Structure 1
Amino acid sequence: MYEELDKKLRSLTTREREYQEQPFLSPKYKTYEIVEYEGKEVYVFSSEIPVNENIAISKQNRFAEVPMHIHTYLELNYVYSGECTQIINGETNTLTEGQICIVDTGVPHSIYPASESDIIINILIRKEYFTSSFLSRLSNQGVISNFLVNAISDTQNHNRYIIFHSEKNVNLQTLIRQLLCEYFDKSICSEEMIDCYMVLIFSELLRVFHFYTNQSNDQPYSGTKLIEILHYIEKNYKTCTLVSTATHFSFSPNYMSYFIKKGTKKTFKELIQIQRLQHSSVLLSNTNMPIYEIADETGHGNLSYFYKKFKQYYNLTPQEYREKHNRS
């Protein structure tokens, strides 16, 4: 199976042979809208995902430059072989084999021409795909998954990208190969299989804690430190306070509050509330516990307040959420 996939990806397409002989700008660019971004013209890619589908996967054409452009959807670049050099928001980044870069909507980026040994897979994802239903299926149901998705889909901030140093993650490489095999050779239940692989891939990405983001963090504290703090909140949300969390990481409470707000665009209190609600959703989906017990279990002493916050976050009442997602 993997041998056939490898052969397919490494084989030169007709268009690649043309680019190899004489690089040129594809005629398709004449059909794209051009907008101005910070004084420069960029192409707008908006029609690459088929209508009524949420995901489109393709191999990037080698030997041809992809000029500065933005997407109306999220783009996940996976380096299947070789390397990939991009300019994202004015920063040059080179990904090596096995690494992944997720680029948010509206982020200007260009890609250098790839050599014959450089095979880059583009996975385009509509933002609507990241529904509460999708998130509830992630193995990491908490503020880390919330941070990951918000980092690339925050409607208030479209200038982000995340590079995952996933080159040593064997599970991730296997899952992506399985996804590609399913996508390029569709059969019965392929759509459901693709959805399952996407959940597994994002779950695996959540395990790759050492990642780089273009969001500035005060030195010497990196994005890794922020993930460590979020992980601590996930594990200790029932008992931790701003002061106890700050003490654990040798921060002052004021700096901890600033650091969290700067990195996540949420307050410490909001993160605790998100963790409570997301743990509540897990219990609603996977147990038959009475709702009042779930509220108490997740630190919501006031049942009316729990209902109010749950409805605000999921746009469903706890009972409606249970009826829609219950798997017990």
Structure 2
Amino acid sequence: MMTLSALNQFLKQHTPEETQRLNGVKKDYSQFPVARGKFDTPCYRFDTNLEDLRSLFLSKKVLPSYYNFAVVKQDRFENVPLHIHEWLELSYIYSGACTMTINKTTFRLKSGQMVLISQNAPHSVKRCSENDIIINFLLTREYLNGTFFERLSQDNYLTHFFIEALNTTMQESKYIVFSPEQKQNRLADLTNQFLCEFYSPSVTSGPFLDSLFTLITCEMINLFQHGMVLDHSSVDQIYTILRYIETNFADCTLSSTAEFFNMHPNYLSAYIRQHTGITYKELVQTQRLSQAAKLLRSTALSTNDISLAVGYQNTSFFFQLFRKKYGCTPMEYRNMLHASDTPNM
């Protein structure tokens, strides 16, 4: 894998396109159609699909391809005009800064920040300087709704809650800026590690990159939920309640939870349904069964012990609920996992 120092040297090199810009050759955007709509300036539609993008960059030996999304180094020495496209764009400011306009809002992004731009959101980027390096991850909507969040939303409703909030924010504002603390920027650390592996892949590059991008996503959600808690008191309250249930799901009741938060049980029940769309009972049950599935995957505990551990004294009732959610008994669930892990002879 490439070192961080080698990554820095690599990214500072001029791409063939950047060399052309420095020599006075401007990019011709007339090949792209002008999008319909009410825009202050002409807005181009970049119709190139991800497969074409990957082939283009690979053939030019600018960047390799990676699975079902593309990674593109921003051309530093040109103004990128107002444009829209079908894929989502996750822009990472590796070094320096850049001025970006998204949906008629202009802001300055600094090193270590990321911005997630929605599909068909009109945006443009001002010409950067030598030390301003931006890396763009281009993602399809299917990837964002599928692999991007799939593994993160299954185990607890708290994460699911913030994913729904993130999607809502994206629909309303068309972008989300992630601004970590500069002294402890895990987002930058993880992304830099990803880029080191991406540009100099090892034998295990596939799963390594997959795991790193999952961690990047986790950190984005952490930053997003932190911002929500700081900015919205009502979100702070539901966040605290969800966290409490996530921690105490095995033995909490509606009455005990309401008492902890100095609420009437009926009010708490209505409050949870208003903010999550499900009942208190469904929320606790989802958490218990998800934890049971996790214990089946990661421990050798008996199904009776797992039933008790997640808060069900009646094992038969636990089996009934588990089958309804997963389509099989706890033992069948465990056996299927073991069968899938057994190598073919």
Q: TM-score, normalised by structure 2?
A: 0.69
* Aligned counterpart for 1:123 among listed residues 121, 137, 158: 137
* Aligned counterpart for 1:197 among listed residues 212, 217, 233: 212
Q: Displacement, 1:186?
A: 1.9
Q: Partner of 1:309: helix, strand, or coil?
A: helix
Structure 2 CA distance for aligned equivalents of residues 293 and 201 of structure 1 = 35
Residue 177 of structure 2 corresponds to 163
Structure 2 CA distance for aligned equivalents of residues 86 and 24 of structure 1 = 20
Name the one with the larger strand percent. Answer: 1
**165-174 or 243-252: bigger deviation:** 243-252
Q: Partner of 1:130: helix, strand, or coil?
A: helix
Structure 2 CA distance for aligned equivalents of residues 37 and 294 of structure 1 = 58
CA deviations on 1:73-132 (whole Å, 9 max, x unpaired) are: x4332221233444445544543221223345x361413224223322222342332364
Q: Larger Cα Rg: Structure 1 or Structure 2?
A: 2
The AA in structure 2 aligned to 1:144 is: L
1:163–1:212 Cα contact (<8 Å) kept: no
The AA in structure 2 aligned to 1:283 is: L
CA deviations on 1:183-232 (whole Å, 9 max, x unpaired) are: 1112322112101212332344454366446xxx9985165555444333
Name the one with the larger helix percent. Answer: 2
The AA in structure 1 aligned to 2:205 is: S
Q: 1:320 to 1:222 in 2, by over 3 A?
A: farther
Structure 1 CA distance for aligned equivalents of residues 265 and 23 of structure 2 = 61
Q: Partner of 1:102: helix, strand, or coil?
A: strand
Q: Partner of 1:12: helix, strand, or coil?
A: coil
Residue 73 of structure 2 corresponds to 59
- The 5 A counterparts of 1:38-57 are 43=45, 47-48=49-50, 50=54, 53-57=67-71
Would you say 1:289 and 2:301 are equivalent positions?
A: yes
Structure 2 CA distance for aligned equivalents of residues 26 and 319 of structure 1 = 58
Would you say 1:110 and 2:148 are equivalent positions?
A: no
Q: 1:188 to 1:298 in 2, by over 3 A?
A: same
The AA in structure 1 aligned to 2:95 is: S
Q: Partner of 2:181: helix, strand, or coil?
A: coil
Residue 174 of structure 1 corresponds to 189
Structure 1 CA distance for aligned equivalents of residues 308 and 34 of structure 2 = 53
The AA in structure 2 aligned to 1:57 is: V
* Aligned counterpart for 1:13 among listed residues 1, 15, 38: 15
Q: 1:247 to 1:286 in 2, by over 3 A?
A: same
Superposed CA RMSD in Å reads 4.3
Q: Displacement, 1:298?
A: 2.5
Would you say 1:4 and 2:16 are equivalent positions?
A: no
Q: 1:144 to 1:187 in 2, by over 3 A?
A: same
2:98–2:125 Cα contact (<8 Å) kept: yes
Structure 1 alignment gaps of length 5 or more: none
2:43–2:122 Cα contact (<8 Å) kept: no
Percentage identity across paired residues of the two chains: 28
1:45–1:71 Cα contact (<8 Å) kept: yes
- The 5 A counterparts of 1:77-96 are 77-96=91-110
Structure 2 CA distance for aligned equivalents of residues 44 and 103 of structure 1 = 14
Structure 2 alignment gaps of length 5 or more: 56-65
Q: Partner of 2:233: helix, strand, or coil?
A: coil
Q: 1:12 to 1:36 in 2, by over 3 A?
A: same
- The 5 A counterparts of 1:1-328 are 1-19=3-21, 26-27=28-29, 30=31, 34=35, 43=45, 47-48=49-50, 50=54, 53-62=67-76, 63-65=78-80, 67-72=82-87, 74-104=88-118, 106=119, 108-116=121-129, 117-125=131-139, 126-127=143-144, 128-130=146-148, 132=150, 134-135=151-152, 141-152=155-166, 158-159=171-172, 161-168=175-182, 169-208=184-223, 211-212=226-227, 221=233, 223=235, 226-241=238-253, 245=257, 248=260, 264=276, 266-299=278-311, 301=314, 302=317, 303-311=319-327, 318-319=333-334, 322-323=337-338
Structure 2 CA distance for aligned equivalents of residues 96 and 308 of structure 1 = 49
Structure 2 CA distance for aligned equivalents of residues 280 and 85 of structure 1 = 48
Displaced runs of 4+ in structure 1, greater than 6 A? 250-255, 324-327
Structure 1 CA distance for aligned equivalents of residues 239 and 202 of structure 2 = 39
2:117–2:175 Cα contact (<8 Å) kept: yes
Q: Displacement, 1:58?
A: 2.0
